[in-house]
Amino acid sequence: MSDQSAPVSVLPKPAEGAPNSDSDELLRLFQAGAQRAVADHLAAGHPVYYGGTGPEAGKLFMQKPDGRHFEYRMREDGTREIVREIVT
């Protein structure tokens, strides 16, 4: 029986205050691009659909171009049913 231990990272830790890695920059660019795409989609008059996270996990939400948000559920026939308006 051989002793198998977890691999150890040999990469140096970044200096304090420095970005952790190229992946942090890639994530920042991705998030900025996604925010731009959502804004463009709403500006074109289309709603944006997204799933909840955290305590809202498993729920479906929609943001209308006018800024209102709704929780909805999908019916068996494929249509959407508004559950409630999310008032902030």
What is the tens place of the pLDDT at every residue in 13-39?
555 665 567 888 889 999 999 999 999
| CA 57/CA 6 separation, integer angstroms | 32
Per-residue model confidence (pLDDT) at position 7: 43
Integer CA distances (angstroms), 22 to 18, 19, 28, 41, in order: 11, 8, 10, 29
Report the share of the chain in percent with pLDDT over 70: 77
**Residue among 46, 39, 49 at smallest CA distance from 72:** 49
| CA 72/CA 61 separation, integer angstroms | 6
| CA 87/CA 76 separation, integer angstroms | 27
Strand 60-63 relative to strand 80-86, pairing: unpaired
Bridge partners (DSSP) listed for residue 56: none
What is the tens place of the pLDDT at every residue in 34-47?
999 999 999 999 99
Phi/psi of residue 30, nearest 5 degrees: -60, -45
